[in-house]
Structure 1
Amino acid sequence: MQDSTSSSGDARRAGTGTAPILGYFRWAFIVTAVGLALGAALGWQTTGTVGGTLTVFFICAVLAVLEISLSFDNAIVNANKLKSMRPEWQRRFLTWGILIAVFGMRVVFPLLIVVIAAGIGPWQALVLAAARPAEYARIMHDAHLPIAAFGGTFLMMVGLSFFFDHEKDVHWVRWIEDKMARYATIRGIEVAIALLAVLGFARLQPDAAAQQVFFSAAIWGLLTFLLVEVLGGFLDHAQGARKTAAAGGVGAFLYLEVLDASFSFDGVIGAFALSQNLFVIAIGLGIGAMYVRSMTIMLVEKGTLTQYRYLEHGAFYAIIALSVIMYAQSLFHIPEVVTGLGGAGLIGLSLWSSVRSNRAEAS
Structure 2
Amino acid sequence: MILKTFRWAFAVTALGLAVGVLYDGWAAFGIVAILAVLEISLSFDNAVVNAGILKKMNAFWQKIFLTVGVLIAVFGMRLVFPVVIVAITAKLNPYDAVQLALTDKDRYQQLVTDAHPSIAAFGGMFLLMIFLDFIFEDRDIKWLAWLERPLAKLGKVDMLSVCIALIVLLITAFTFAGHAHQHGGAHADKAQTVLISGIAGLITYLVVGGLSGYFENRLEEEEEREEAAERSGRPGSAVQLVGQAAFFMFLYLEVLDASFSFDGVIGAFAITNDIVLMALGLGIGAMYVRSLTVYLVRQGTLDDYVYLEHGAHYAIGALAVILMVTIQYQINEIITGLVGVVLIGWSFWSSVRRNKALAAAEDRQKTDSVPVP
Report the TM-score when normalising by structure 2.
0.87
Q: How does 1:59-138 map to 2 (within 5 A)?
A: 59-138=31-110
Match 1:40 to one of 21, 28, 33: 21
Q: How does 1:278-297 map to 2 (within 5 A)?
A: 278-297=275-294
Question: 2:272 and 2:329 mapped to 1: Cα distance?
Answer: 20
Quote the offset at 1:305 in angstroms. Answer: 0.3
Q: Partner of 2:329 in structure 1? A: 332
- Say which SS state the counterpart of residue 270 (structure 2) adopts: coil
Question: 1:322 and 1:31 mapped to 2: Cα distance?
Answer: 27
CA contact (8 A) 2:40 2:288 kept: yes
Gaps of 5+ in 1: 1-18, 44-52
CA contact (8 A) 1:314 1:346 kept: yes
Summarize the Cα distance change of 1:189–1:140 in structure 2 as closer, same or farther, 3 Å threshold. Answer: same
Q: Partner of 2:111 in structure 1? A: 139
| One-letter amino acid of the counterpart of residue 19, structure 2 | L
- The alignment-based identity, stated in percent, is 51
| One-letter amino acid of the counterpart of residue 351, structure 1 | F
Q: Partner of 2:249 in structure 1? A: 252
User: Deviation string for 1:109-142 (max 9, x for gaps)?
Assistant: 1111111111111111111111111111111010
User: Deviation string for 1:188-232 (max 9, x for gaps)?
Assistant: 011111112111211212122211111111111101100112222
Question: 1:146 and 1:220 mapped to 2: Cα distance?
Answer: 10
- Say which SS state the counterpart of residue 155 (structure 2) adopts: helix
CA contact (8 A) 1:150 1:217 kept: yes
CA contact (8 A) 2:66 2:291 kept: no
Q: Partner of 2:270 in structure 1? A: 273
CA contact (8 A) 1:86 1:245 kept: no
Task: Please identify the structure whose Cα radius of gyration is greater.
Answer: 2
Q: Partner of 1:5 in structure 2? A: none
Q: Partner of 1:48 in structure 2? A: none
Q: Partner of 2:11 in structure 1? A: 30
Match 1:190 to one of 161, 168, 173: 161
Question: 1:332 and 1:324 mapped to 2: Cα distance?
Answer: 12
| One-letter amino acid of the counterpart of residue 155, structure 1 | L
Q: Partner of 2:229 in structure 1? A: none
Question: 1:90 and 1:27 mapped to 2: Cα distance?
Answer: 14
Give aligned pairs, total: 334
Aligned-residue CA RMSD in angstroms? 1.4
CA contact (8 A) 1:129 1:136 kept: yes
Question: 1:174 and 1:259 mapped to 2: Cα distance?
Answer: 27
Question: 1:110 and 1:87 mapped to 2: Cα distance?
Answer: 32
Question: 1:30 and 1:94 mapped to 2: Cα distance?
Answer: 14
- Say which SS state the counterpart of residue 330 (structure 2) adopts: coil
CA contact (8 A) 1:235 1:250 kept: no
User: Deviation string for 1:250-289 (max 9, x for gaps)?
Assistant: 1101100000000000000111111111111000000100
- The alignment status of 1:231 with 2:203, answered yes or no, reads no
Question: 1:358 and 1:235 mapped to 2: Cα distance?
Answer: 34
Q: Partner of 1:46 in structure 2? A: none
Q: Partner of 2:152 in structure 1? A: 181
Question: 2:156 and 2:59 mapped to 1: Cα distance?
Answer: 32
